[in-house]
């Protein structure tokens, strides 16, 4: 009797343990894979996703990638109320379709996420980047919440040829940067947010060939480091309620160069107070 109770207790504990999806150094996911509960890809394990895999993720599921996830030809993760991706290892996903998570992704310091094409939508809260995030040809619809945040001073964000959107001017900010090491945004469009950029801490910024429109603020540039390089080039900042605002003379910004860019047709174009923002060759 005692032995039976002991075995039942061990079985119960095993059921409660997170699932290391699944055993072995190399694992393949397909549309037949079930993702339920706390899914962990452990350090040293590599998960390869079959082409055009579509998985309905069960409610409450969190996928933690401590090892490697490689989806070279399409991955769809959709659900109604799942938690999202947590990345401390490496994930590379092509044609990523994600919907219904409370947080699209969290990239911890030392982690790396690359998305080559896809759509993120139906997300309840901000993604967070403290590691390395690279994306191209991505449509990211944050809805009414926030988009992408970074605060620890270790995050690096690089986005190209993408559309970053939200549900309107009175919704959350898209970029919530309270301490990011670097952000590069090129050839992209941003619209439908309270702030396209809400910046309180930033070291390096490179923005080139972007269109920023239809937001309450293009930029709340309320704090940036004196270290690093910060440039905005060949960018259109139009038809926002406010184009580029530093807030007040008490704001602490490093040098910011804006060149060959159009900041016009906003409710108010500029609120410059620190003497750190230099505008050259404005587009009229």
User: How far, in Å, CA of 7 to CA of 22, rounded?
Assistant: 23
Domains and their CATH numbers in the chain = 44-105 (no CATH), 125-284 (2.160.20)
Upstream peptide bond of 22 is cis (omega within 30 degrees of 0): yes
User: How far, in Å, CA of 160 to CA of 4, rounded?
Assistant: 59
Please check whether residue 256 is in contact with residue 221, taking contact to mean a CB–CB distance below 8 angstroms.
yes
Please check whether residue 101 is in contact with residue 84, taking contact to mean a CB–CB distance below 8 angstroms.
yes
Q: Is 50 exceeded by the pLDDT of residue 168?
A: yes
Q: Is 80 exceeded by the pLDDT of residue 1?
A: no
Please check whether residue 63 is in contact with residue 84, taking contact to mean a CB–CB distance below 8 angstroms.
yes
pLDDT of residue 6: 44
Residue 183 CA neighbour count, 13 Å, CB half = 24
Distances (CA, A) of 204 to 107, 192, 230, 232: 19, 25, 5, 11
Position of tokens 């452990």?
Answer: 42
| DSSP structure string for 113-160 | EEEEEEEEES--B-EEESSEEEEEEEEEE-TTS--EEE-SS--EEEEE
- For 90-128, write each residue's pLDDT tens digit: 999 999 999 999 999 999 999 999 999 999 999 999 999
User: How far, in Å, CA of 282 to CA of 67, rounded?
Assistant: 47
Sign of the dihedral through C-alpha 79, 74, 130, 38: positive
Gyration radius of the chain over CA positions:
21
Banded model confidence at residue 24, pLDDT cuts 50, 70, 90: low
User: How far, in Å, CA of 261 to CA of 281, rounded?
Assistant: 7
HEC letters along 202-263: EEEEEEECCEEECCCEEEEECCCCCCCCEEEECCEEECCCEEEECCCCCCCCCCEEEECCEE
Per-residue pLDDT, averaged over 131-139, amounts to: 98
Q: Is 70 exceeded by the pLDDT of residue 7?
A: no
């Amino acid at each position: 009797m005692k032995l039976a109770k002991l075995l039942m207790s061990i079985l119960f504990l095993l059921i409660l343990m997170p699932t290391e999806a699944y055993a072995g150094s190399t694992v393949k996911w397909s549309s037949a894979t079930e993702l339920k509960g706390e899914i962990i890809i452990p350090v040293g394990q590599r998960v390869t996703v079959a082409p055009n895999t579509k998985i309905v993720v069960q409610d409450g599921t969190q996928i933690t990638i401590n090892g490697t996830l490689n989806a070279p030809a399409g991955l769809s993760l959709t659900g109604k109320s799942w938690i999202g991706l947590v990345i401390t290892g490496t994930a590379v996903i092509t044609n990523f379709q994600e919907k219904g998570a409370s947080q699209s992704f969290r990239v911890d310091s030392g982690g790396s996420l690359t998305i080559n094409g896809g759509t993120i939508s139906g997300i309840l809260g901000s993604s967070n980047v403290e590691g390395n995030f690279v994306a191209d040809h991505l449509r990211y619809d944050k809805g009414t919440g926030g988009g992408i945040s970074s605060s620890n001073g270790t995050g690096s964000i690089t986005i190209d040829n993408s559309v970053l959107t939200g549900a309107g001017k009175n919704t959350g900010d898209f970029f919530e940067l309270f301490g990011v090491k670097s952000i590069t945004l090129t050839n992209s469009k941003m619209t439908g947010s309270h702030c396209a950029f809400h910046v309180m801490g930033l070291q390096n910024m490179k923005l080139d060939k972007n269109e920023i429109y239809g937001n309450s603020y293009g930029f709340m540039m309320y704090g940036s480091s004196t270290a690093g390089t910060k440039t905005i080039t060949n960018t259109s900042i139009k038809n926002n309620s406010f184009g580029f605002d530093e807030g007040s003379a008490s704001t602490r910004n490093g040098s910011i160069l804006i060149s060959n860019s159009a900041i016009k047709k906003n409710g108010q174009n500029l609120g410059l107070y620190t003497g750190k923002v230099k505008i050259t060759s404005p587009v009229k």
